[in-house]
Chain A
Amino acid sequence: MGNFGVQFRRDLLVAIRARTETANPIAFFVLALSLFVFAVGTDSETLPRVAPGVVWVVALFAAMLSTENLFHRDHDDGSLELMLLDRRPLFLGVLGKLLAHWCVSGLPVAILSPLAAVFISAPVEIITILVGTLLLGTPVLTLIGGIGAALTAGLGRGGLLLAILVMPLYIPVLIFGSGACYRVLDEVSATGPVLWLIALLAGSITLAPFAIGAALRGSQEY
């Protein structure tokens, strides 16, 4: 049962030491946002209007980029075999790993989002809801992305396969996360989508680790 803490500490340590690999998605988050500003222009009313959605989409892409890193290292060096040995239960270990990964991918994005919002001229009122939905939504992205990463572990990195697999599953998170921000913008209650995000989080915390465990066993044999 100490599996969760042991795995969490180890993966956090690895992520911190793999500086470039860990920082890349966050750097992408910042860079891609600036690209949007250049594309849309700052003089119109468009930028503030699309800003919440843009932050969410870029956060989603950053999550997808960082998900590629979840299992590749452990698959290549054989550590994954040690975790999978003897058909032992993987639930807690997987959760520990995913939490460590979220701490260095989704959490920084959520923390940076107020800055990002200011950066792309988002209306000030949505900053709270933006941070809130990202805090709720990025763990879901990590969990769902973990399923895709587990299914494609060892299949070679970079490439469309992971994106094709997880994109349909990411769409509801994006819709509710971004939608909540737009509700606030339109001065309507955002409770509905926020509750949905909480439900998605609860559902994925309980179900995703099972799918990830099964997928990891399967991908060992590719």
Chain B
Amino acid sequence: MNHALIEVNDLTCTVAGHRLFDRLGLTVASGDVLGLWGPNGSGKSTLLRCLAGLFEADGGVIKHAASLLYMGHRPGLNELLSPLENLRWCAGLQEKDVSPEMLLSAIHSVGLDSYKDAPCRTLSAGQMRRAALARLCISESRLWLLDEPMTSLDDDAVALVRDLIAKHRTEGGGCICATHVNLELPQTRALELGA
């Protein structure tokens, strides 16, 4: 079970006159967790967006064999809808059907049971992050691209993220995670940007 989920070759990107990365190459296979490190502005978010297909790099080849999940800085939640309604929409964007029970159990896993029907605008930043994390629970994507997933989270939620990533990798998924904080997961590789 060790085939590559994503293979990047010669990726080059210049944004606003700064060369963020030049001829970058990386491979992530199932079971891999790759941490992206680097100071602010080093291009971590841009790299993840390039991999997610949201940003066109100047050159290079990205080949991926798996569907993607992307969690960026913005929560991806509509503030007028409840966490449950947002999750239902996310589930609808995927290929496979997601049953209502799975949606409810995902909301339960992130600890938002009592808030599941409240409009997201009434939630705190940390709760919004948790609501966004619910996507990880129902995701069928093999490759996860996470941009600083631990931001705004309390210790319980941080542990939750770790558990989710660990579970995902045992199921054969892979993860690329931009982070400032030590992921504290066994056998993670690291890629340093802006060096």
Contact = CB atoms under 8 A, between A and B. Distances in A.
A and B, direct touch (CB closer than 8 Å): yes
Interface of A: 2-3, 5-7, 10, 13-14, 17-18, 73-74, 76-79, 81-87, 93, 217, 220-221
A217 to B, nearest CB: 8
B11 interface: no
A106 B17 CA distance: 44
B92 A3 contact: yes
B76 A86 contact: no
Contacts of A6: 88-89, 92-93
B52 A85 contact: yes
A220 B76 contact: no
Nearest to B51: A86
B79 interface: yes
B152 to A, nearest CB: 14
Contacts, number: 73
Nearest to A220: B54
B67 interface: yes
Instruction: Give the 4 A-B CB pairs with smallest separation, nearest first.
Output: A78-B74, A6-B92, A78-B76, A17-B80
Interface in B13-58: 52-56
A221 to B, nearest CB: 6
A81 B72 contact: yes
B56 A221 contact: yes
B133 to A, nearest CB: 14
Contact of B54 (A7, A81, A93): A81
Interface string B158-169: 000000000000
Contact of A85 (B54, B74, B77, B78): B54
Given A18-B80, A74-B78, A77-B77, A83 B53 contact: no
Given A76-B74, A82-B70, A221-B56, 18 more contacts: A3-B92, A7-B89, A10-B89, A10-B92, A13-B85, A14-B80, A18-B80, A74-B78, A77-B75, A77-B78, A78-B75, A78-B76, A79-B76, A81-B72, A83-B93, A84-B54, A85-B52, A86-B52
A74 B76 CA distance: 8
A18 B52 CA distance: 30
Contact of B77 (A13, A79, A93): A79
A65 to B, nearest CB: 20
Contact of A87 (B53, B72, B75, B77): B53
11 contacts: A10-B85, A14-B78, A77-B74, A77-B78, A81-B52, A81-B72, A82-B70, A83-B93, A85-B53, A85-B54, A86-B67
A190 to B, nearest CB: 41
Contacts of A79: 76-78
B68 interface: yes
B93 A3 contact: yes
Contacts of B93: 3, 6, 82-83, 93
Tell which of B52, B56, B67, B80 has the most Cβ of chain A within 10 Å: B80
B183 interface: no
Contacts of A78: 72-77
B76 A14 contact: no
Contact of B68 (A73, A77, A86, A93): A86
Contacts of B55: 220-221
A199 to B, nearest CB: 33
